[in-house]
Amino acid sequence: MKLLVVLLVAVSLCAGSPVPEVPGDNSHYVEGESRYIWMPDGEGVPHLVDLEEPVDEDLLQSRNGANNQYWLFTRQNPRNQQIIVNGNVNSIRNSNYNGNRPLMVIVHGWNSNGNSGMNPQIRDAYLAVADANVIVLDWRALANGAYTTAVRGVPSVGQFLGNFLVWLINNGGGNWNNVHLVGFSLGAHVVGNAGRTAGRRPSRITGLDPAGPQWGGNSNALNRNDGQHVETIHTDGGLLGIMDPIANADFYPNGGRNPQPGCLISTCSHSRAPELFASSVRTNHFNGRLCNNFNQAQNNQCTGANLRMGNSILNKRGNGLYGLSTGNRWPF
């Protein structure tokens, strides 16, 4: 029913205009030229986005990174979040946060929230393999506005997250060599800004199909200098995700673009990145092979040295472009 409503809205907009009518299908899209694109919400439902929609300046002022919520999960509270409030030391003391554990931070993308599917999926994977502090950043106050407005708000959300992490480690304990930031789509650029704000100290930053529309040439985009080691997993490159290499290690499963195995449309391929990552945390079975060039990566013809895609290893390091094949359903 939800999908039907989206389709009906699209059709009403399409009369006499070049608006795509098939939900989730972005085969029409040309970066920098197309006005409309389908984007998934936190449950994978496609929504039509107008990339020329005016930015809501009032919303940016009232709903910025100051509205971030930080939900802590540990093996002592794997399902029920404890909210840590930036600046309130008692909120750390009254929680299960333990500075001797690794710290994993998960950040959702556009039109999502802390309960959206990718968050519990990745959270549960981490807690299954490590006694860790897992923090889910809920930035729905801004993420659930227009895409164009959310893009403009990403730096603020990331900066507040970076400052929160500095405060948390200073007051609750912790080691930057045990910090791993993971973000999907717009969330990938959020964690990039967070790492930059924190002095590029996080041991690992993982961008899951970093958002592409309006991010080409954007100085606020995730880049290889945002942490000690930055990696990306590209699954819908050139459409909803960035295709160009932007990290120390860029992984291109199945060529890094739509259609991913088991997907027919762009929105499915984009949403595949967090699923692949969650699976990699649990099993660490994705074996990337070093590519000699970008063309090899796009065509999945890489045969060089091995580097595992994803996983939760905090001291993981590696450089270059990596290709690999995956299955079409969990655990892929």
What amino acid positions are annotated as catalytic residues? 185, 209, 270
Instruction: Please name the residue that has the structure tokens 């439902």.
Output: 45
CA dihedral 157, 240, 5, 142 (to 10 degrees): 10
**8-state DSSP, 211:** B
Instruction: Please name the residue that has the structure tokens 């990596």.
Output: 322
Indicate the residue type of 234: H
Closest CA to 240 of 265, 277, 276, 205: 265
Decide: helix, strand or coil at residue 134: strand
User: Which token pair is 164?
Assistant: 């929160």
Rounded to 5 degrees, φ, ψ at 7 are -65, -45
Identify the H or E element spanning 50: strand 46-50
Q: Would you say 221 and 252 are in contact if contact means Cβ atoms under 8 Å apart?
A: no
SS (H, E, C) 213-260: CCCCCCCCCCCCCCCCCEEEECCCECCCECCCCCCCEEEEECCCCCCC
Distances (CA, A) of 146 to 53, 56, 63, 96: 8, 8, 12, 35
Q: CB burial class (10 A; 0-12, 13-18, 19+) of residue 90?
A: exposed
Decide: helix, strand or coil at residue 298: helix
